[in-house]
Amino acid sequence: MSQVTPEQVRVALQTVLDPATERDIVTSRQLGEVSVSADGIALHVDLISPGYPLRGGLEAAIRTTLDRFALPITITWGLKIPRKPPRQDLDRVPSIKNVIAVAAGKGGVGKSTVAVNLALALQRLGAKVGMLDADIFGPSVPHMLGPASRPCDKSVDGQRIIPALHRGMPIMSLDFFVEAGKAVMWRGPMIHKLLQQFLEDVNWGELDYLVIDMPPGTGDVQLSLSKLLPITGAVVVTTPQEVALLDVRKAIDMFTHAEIPVLGVIENMSHYRCPACGHVDHLFAAGGGRRLASDFDLPLLGELPLEGAISTSGELGNPIVSIAPDSDNTRVFLSVAANVGLAAAKLQGVGPIRSSLLRTV
Ligand SMILES: Nc1ncnc2c1ncn2[C@@H]1O[C@H](COP(=O)(O)OP(=O)(O)O)[C@@H](O)[C@H]1O
Ligand SMILES: [Mg+2]
């Protein structure tokens, strides 16, 4: 079989479909370099989302198709996250491919905790991630991420602001501009102007995802952001209690009106596992997040326990995904991140990804 050519391999691979998009990997340009040598066939394939949950199926299809050449096959995997062509009317930050808003109906449900860990999980899966702390009245992202390796540089005259760098991620927060302990009392137009500056005047660089920690509820910030940039989708955080769920329904309704897709629901403080005996207790009514997701026909992206380690890690600036990379909680965040990435790729128009392909917990 020494006469096998890279071209023959490419032609054969035209029949291999990415299981998420159902487009063949040659037309979609996911197939990169192909070479044939004495060692066999080597090829490079780009995946459309970080932690792509369907890689096993794609690899099996490639190997089965190339069986006919009877040569060893080596596949290297890359990541090429798709994006729509930038919108002229609504694109202040063309270097950002996806904007993911983490929202909640209420404060105190763990939205910032989820936003920070989701961003770190996307980064760990190989994506370039930044964070915008849009919770103007309670900015907490910089604190939760721990000390900055580079502080925010606001001094550059006439040039763009350099965001702070925390755990390798560019971060912008009102926290960098107000004195500690001072309250912010701003009205809608000022908030709008500030958010506009955070998007237009900040040197974000090339990002696959900007994760936004939204303030709770349905107010000025939400409205402004939906008018300032194309939000790819929202992740909604809730606790299982009925009072939290009531507010979250309003948040989902707001996103629907603003034509922002909701990617799914995360139920936080879902249950408590006794560290001594392992007994699992549903402190609040069980299954609220699951019911909510099913009522709106949304994926339930994850269920996180109420756990001291999740709280203290955030309070001390050591998010759980960073300090306990192999824990069950981190696994939930990695699975949420992979699902969010796949749903976002779908919304960037790469093909008809079936929602049944999303892993639900
Ligand atoms: N799963 C959890 N288990 C234990 N404590 C949590 C959990 N999620 C959040 N917390 C704690 O609850 C408080 C509120 O969380 P935070 O992320 O600041 O909420 P929000 O941004 O919605 O106001 C924080 O003290 C945080 O450490
Ligand atoms: Mg918060």
**Rounded Cα distance, 315 and 325, in Å:** 17
Residue in the structure block whose two tokens are 């107010």: 219
The residue nearest atom 10 of ligand 1, judged by CA position, is 311
Which of 28, 7, 11, 8 lies closest to 19 in space, CA to CA? 28
pLDDT for the residue 128: 97
Does residue 110 have its Cβ closer than 6 Å to ligand 1? yes
**Average pLDDT of span 223-230:** 87
Query: What is the distance in A from the centroid of ligand 2 to the CA of 77?
Result: 36
Contacts for 308 with CB less than 8 Å, ≥ 6 apart: none
| pLDDT confidence bin for 360, thresholds 50/70/90 | very low
Q: Which atom of ligand 1 is nearest to the CA of 104?
A: 22
Q: Which atom of ligand 1 is nearest to the CA of 107?
A: 23
pLDDT for the residue 281: 86
Instruction: Choose which residue among 311, 313, 321 to substitute to test ligand 1 binding: the one with the highest number of ligand atoms within 8 A of its C-beta.
Output: 311
Task: Enumerate the H helices of the chain as residue ranges.
Answer: 6-13, 55-66, 111-124, 141-145, 188-200, 220-228, 242-257, 288-295, 308-315, 320-323, 328-347
**Rounded Cα distance, 192 and 188, in Å:** 6
The residue nearest atom 11 of ligand 1, judged by CA position, is 311
Segment 16-69, tens digit of pLDDT = 999 988 899 999 999 999 999 999 999 999 999 999 999 999 999 999 999 999
Q: Which atom of ligand 1 is nearest to the CA of 268?
A: 1
Contacts for 356 with CB less than 8 Å, ≥ 6 apart: none
Does residue 112 have its Cβ closer than 6 Å to ligand 1? yes
Q: Which ligand ends up closest to the CA of 137?
A: 2
The structure's pTM equals 0.92
Q: What angle in degrees, to the nearest 10, is found between the helix axes of 111-124 and 308-315? A: 80
Tokens of 267: 């139920």
Q: Which of 26-30, 234-238, 299-303, 351-355 has the lowest mean pLDDT?
A: 351-355
pLDDT for the residue 120: 98
Query: What is the distance in A from the centroid of ligand 1 to the CA of 324?
Result: 17
**Average pLDDT of span 87-115:** 87
The residue nearest atom 25 of ligand 1, judged by CA position, is 311
Does residue 303 have its Cβ closer than 6 Å to ligand 1? no
